[in-house]
Structure 1
């Protein structure tokens, strides 16, 4: 479902409106519809849009099937664009109350609420409506209808408003409440957005990072997150120290630190095995820069794994997109084809600086000659 909306009813005439109402309302109400028709054009021509909307919502209630009156709902949403912010707020509240009370399918009601967005001129109004939409979707159990377009266009939605960090978190938490725990990809996207873009407290960052890591299977994603400036908020914490050991491929160091801080990490609901696994991937990437080939036994010893697990761990390392390798089962060897190191430590930067400095010196000497 698109949350953007075309105003199909902006040119709705009084005649068309009356035809729709008379067709889809009981004949017992035709006199009321006729009375409404008598003032419709007058309200429209005098641009009394608030009164027009109020009267139209009242008359819509006469129809037993609101879905047949979609063009009239469209017209109401168009008329709302003509109102000042204060009047829009009044009408939004009235409209939401109307939608809550109508006896229609939840999907139809959710779509009608979503279609209000383009009608609102105020940032605060659209922000509040967005939160209300999330609340309604949860109440009506229509999360799946809106969660995909929201997550897919998360940056665009948040850019609609000028928000502080806490306000963004409020919206993201409201979105997270709609996500089925089984939809792990959505959880990853929300968590990653917070880790990359939102300045939070150390406690909040750790909580989000753990949530992200508990379902994140990508070593590459872990590397990317630690390169974000926001990660600095936890660099000196126990979690930050653990991540440093993980990325260094220090398997014994990470194992010892996890034992030492067992109580703390348990309180965070940290998945110990996952961090050890990512340390193994980092270790293999580290090994790939040292030799062109390794025996299965060498890899097993370095990663502290069983011999029969070597191939699967090499595959995990290749999937991290940091290394390219070939498995030779007949020779029981792993051949390193390439190393695309994407995470540069301090020593890496220093070595790179030395190489560049040496290259510049050579270039200068060539120019002098």
Structure 2
């Protein structure tokens, strides 16, 4: 028995084919960007494509009267509202359907009216694609972002939706190259301080979720710099400051705390969180003994705040060794002095020296024979009056050494010139002596012989 396709089946198949074609054209359009948009979709008017998408979404009856009235924005409102159901449609048809919707929306002069709702729909789970869903939605949102003009204010909202999906999918690597343009985008979007802070906070969360702690920390710092002076003591500022401070203290790679101590929000912690403020001061400019005293007095507080003592203690030893190396004037640091400062046995000194070199806090060479560490370069943890005095002392030492070298060179030069002059005099004397001997000798056949010949 033969079955004939109903008009509805034919129309449905035609819609699916149209969606595939549109998807292919949209890829070309993304390459050429919005400037050549009109050349990418040469088949089908707005009304025809809207009917196809409405039929696919099963809302043809609602759309047709609006099309006949030529109210495009009303048509788009209905399509965008119904597009929420696309999250349940087959995975292989999702991108094509959304690309068609994006194309239709981009033709409206009021495009910003529809994009927030589309971003909201795309941020929800795609139940038909539990594994690939975030990637599919991310692809559509990226398309929307690229099609919008750089100064379009909605671009910021689209980017936030992209960040939410990146956080869910963990696809930070796909986002990283684009973040190089972030400063340019911020300038184009003209965001106020609050929106900038919100964006930096989202980026910090996304980076932290995938283990990019260094990048996360940098975005937290950027967020902290957006607080005006009147808000440095607010709860939001304090919470963010504590997050940055804890991250820096527990990081195995962060040793320079000047980026924190210079921030007004961090400085404001001295009143609200004195323990944190004192701990930051210790790690900024003090040594192991000071940390041990603080730990003994605040052991319960450290545990309550989740600040691991082993991590902090090890870090403080590295910082202390850097300080001791920076304060030595002879450039030869004895193992015994290192052992005393780090409160370790002498036989463990070389292990800690290697660790502090790996941390790039100092450079130098160990001498096992002399039991000293020869300091080539060191990093000052803090540079204040004490450090200026040390620099002045070293400059005086270098000046004295240079003066001594200059005197030695001067003496050697004088001696060399004197020696040269003596040698010259000696040569002249010898030449003069040789000339005198030649002048006193009589030649053969001289005057006596001539007189004798004349007599004959």
TM-score by length of 2: 0.57
2:248 to 205, 209, 213: 213
The corresponding residue for 1:225 is 260
Which deviations, in whole Å up to 9, do the C-alpha atoms of 1:232-277 show, x marking residues without a partner? Answer: 2235622222222233342212210122122333332223333333
For the 8 Å contact 1:323–1:341, the answer to whether it is kept is no
* Residue 344 in structure 1 maps to residue 344 in structure 2: no
The corresponding residue for 2:15 is none
Stretches of structure 1 lacking an aligned partner (at least 5 in a row): 357-369
Q: Please give the secondary structure, in 1, of the residue aligned with 2:107.
A: helix
Q: Please give the secondary structure, in 2, of the residue aligned with 1:344.
A: coil
Q: Please give the secondary structure, in 2, of the residue aligned with 1:327.
A: strand
- Report deviation, 1:154: 5.1
* Residue 234 in structure 1 maps to residue 269 in structure 2: yes
Q: Please give the secondary structure, in 1, of the residue aligned with 2:209.
A: coil
Q: Distance in 2 between matches of 1:301 and 1:313?
A: 13
Distance 1:328-1:88 versus aligned 2 partners, 3 A rule: same
For the 8 Å contact 1:249–1:280, the answer to whether it is kept is no
- Report deviation, 1:216: 1.8
- Report deviation, 1:11: 2.9
User: Rg: which structure is higher?
Assistant: 2
- Report deviation, 1:17: 7.2
Q: Distance in 2 between matches of 1:156 and 1:259?
A: 49
- Report deviation, 1:293: 1.3
The corresponding residue for 1:275 is 312
The corresponding residue for 1:171 is 199
Q: Distance in 2 between matches of 1:229 and 1:99?
A: 36
Name the Cα RMSD after superposition. 4.6
How many residues were matched structurally? Answer: 332
Distance 1:267-1:169 versus aligned 2 partners, 3 A rule: farther
For the 8 Å contact 2:200–2:222, the answer to whether it is kept is no
For the 8 Å contact 1:292–1:337, the answer to whether it is kept is yes
Which deviations, in whole Å up to 9, do the C-alpha atoms of 1:103-128 show, x marking residues without a partner? Answer: 564212212123323527653x3333
Distance 1:12-1:323 versus aligned 2 partners, 3 A rule: same
The corresponding residue for 2:371 is 332
Higher RCO structure (Cα 8 Å, ≥6 apart): 1
- Report deviation, 1:172: 3.8
Q: Distance in 2 between matches of 1:181 and 1:261?
A: 32
Which deviations, in whole Å up to 9, do the C-alpha atoms of 1:26-79 show, x marking residues without a partner? Answer: x999xx8xx99xx79x97xxxx76367558868997997243468645634643
Stretches of structure 2 lacking an aligned partner (at least 5 in a row): 1-29, 396-456
- Report deviation, 1:304: 1.2
For the 8 Å contact 2:283–2:316, the answer to whether it is kept is yes
Q: Please give the secondary structure, in 1, of the residue aligned with 2:382.
A: coil
The corresponding residue for 1:50 is 73
Distance 1:68-1:245 versus aligned 2 partners, 3 A rule: closer
Q: Distance in 2 between matches of 1:134 and 1:28?
A: 30
TM-score by length of 1: 0.68
Q: Distance in 1 between matches of 2:179 and 2:196?
A: 14
Distance 1:302-1:184 versus aligned 2 partners, 3 A rule: same
Distance 1:334-1:198 versus aligned 2 partners, 3 A rule: farther
- Report deviation, 1:214: 4.9
Q: Pairwise mapping of residues 237-256 of structure 1 onto structure 2 (< 5 A)? A: 237-256=274-293
Q: Distance in 2 between matches of 1:28 and 1:269?
A: 54
Q: Please give the secondary structure, in 2, of the residue aligned with 1:65.
A: helix
The corresponding residue for 1:260 is 297
- Report deviation, 1:129: 3.2
Distance 1:304-1:195 versus aligned 2 partners, 3 A rule: farther
Q: Distance in 2 between matches of 1:77 and 1:203?
A: 43
* Residue 90 in structure 1 maps to residue 114 in structure 2: yes
For the 8 Å contact 1:134–1:174, the answer to whether it is kept is yes
Q: Distance in 2 between matches of 1:186 and 1:28?
A: 44
Q: Distance in 2 between matches of 1:225 and 1:152?
A: 24
Q: Distance in 2 between matches of 1:99 and 1:269?
A: 33
